[in-house]
Amino acid sequence: MPMDRRKQQVLRAIVALYAMDGEPVGSGLLCQHLDMAVSSATLRNEMAALTKLGLLEQPHTSAGRVPSAKGYRYYLDHLLSDGEALPEAEAARIDAALRELDHAPERLAQGTARALADDVCYAVAATTPRSEEARIAHFEVVQVGRYSAAVLAVTGTGGVHTRVARVETGLSRADAAKVAELLNRGLVFVAPADVTGSLLAGLAAALGEQGEALFPVIRAAAALVRDAARPNATLEGTQYLLEWPDFSGYLAELLQIFRDGEAAGRLIAPPTNRTSVLLGEDLPHPMPGLCIMSKRYLAGGGLTGSIAIIGPARMPFSKLMPRLEHYALRLGENMSGKPQEEP
């Protein structure tokens, strides 16, 4: 059965109406919404035809219909426009809020995700750019109490990573300065693959008698070298996920994914520069009813990250898409320090 223009209009309208209140859409409501010179009976026939095509479902005995996963996919692939324009006042408000964020990459991604989540009332995920070329450019070691040292590493792109190491024999400020000097001689601009056991043993040996005692600090610095090349993922607005009972069966699995930057990056990375919408039914482990709308951002130097809105399949796509794209644009600008073109 072909998808003629009328059927497409009906499907588009049902997706929009169902997004508004989550109730099955009947022919009467559809007739009021559509500017078409057709009767309710004709619309019922069209709805029945769309149901036969698998694009609509009838959740119970009422005459109302809701989009199926297949219906959403058809809508997303063939009927979704570029969305509503973001009002200038809204864009200005968003820009002002994002200018106040900490511009360290991890905090910037987290702050932008949190701002978007509170703006749209859905969960939002973001990843920092991944680069095999990322290197630590500088180390600081700070005494934290008598037996702990905070190891701070600054990457060449301005990212800051921190680990805490425990020194069982105690740590003085002089010790912290001494090991920081050593790290800045032996571990800056070192590739993760080159951080070998023999390299770390050599650094410890350079500290003489203190080498064994201060080795936990060296080990923490080595872990930061490896961390610098990995993407970091953040998930903000998780409270909004709790508002959708359909997610309860796999909420724990979803949260677990975002504890792994690599897995999270794969989940929300769009295949192209265009805004992408992934349905839960399309995942390797299906999560029916879930929807991930994601956008890639450019972080400079050819590096990219992703930001995504996570919610139910009945999200108002045309309203959310321009908002997501604006946040992605500003996140990329703030990461790179350079203005970018509007999508």
Q: Is the pLDDT of residue 341 over 70?
A: no
Domain shared by 185 and 101, yes or no: no
| CATH code (residue 296) | 3.30.450.40
Q: Which residues, 6 or more positions from 180, have their beta carbon under 8 angstroms from its beta carbon?
A: 139, 140, 141
CB 331, CB 39: distance < 8 Å: no
Domain shared by 111 and 257, yes or no: yes
How do residues 204-259 score in pLDDT, each as one tens digit? 999 999 999 999 999 999 999 988 777 778 999 999 988 887 777 888 888 888 88
Residue 196 is predicted with a pLDDT of 93
Burial class (CB in 10 A: 0-12, 13-18, 19+), 341: exposed
Residue 275 is predicted with a pLDDT of 92
Sheet of 160-166, strands arranged across: 136-144, 148-155, 160-166
Per-residue DSSP letter, 83: -
CB 177, CB 196: distance < 8 Å: no
Domain shared by 242 and 332, yes or no: yes
Domain shared by 70 and 192, yes or no: no
Domain shared by 67 and 115, yes or no: no
Residue 342 within any structural domain of the chain: no
Q: Which of 195, 228, 261 is the last residue of a domain?
A: 228
Residue 54 within any structural domain of the chain: yes
How do residues 249-290 score in pLDDT, each as one tens digit? 888 888 888 888 788 888 898 988 899 999 999 888 888 889
Number of separate domains in the chain: 3
Domain shared by 249 and 332, yes or no: yes
Output the average pLDDT for the chain. 88
Residue 341 within any structural domain of the chain: no
CB 125, CB 264: distance < 8 Å: yes
Residue 324 within any structural domain of the chain: yes
Domain shared by 33 and 103, yes or no: no
Domain shared by 205 and 143, yes or no: yes
Domain shared by 125 and 265, yes or no: yes
Q: Which of 200, 228, 256 is the last residue of a domain?
A: 228
Residue 257 within any structural domain of the chain: yes
Cα–Cα distance for residue pair 308/289, rounded to 1 Å: 16
Residue 26 within any structural domain of the chain: yes
| CATH code (residue 61) | 1.10.10.10
Domain shared by 126 and 204, yes or no: no
Provide the residue range defining the domain that includes 219: 136-228
Residue 67 within any structural domain of the chain: yes
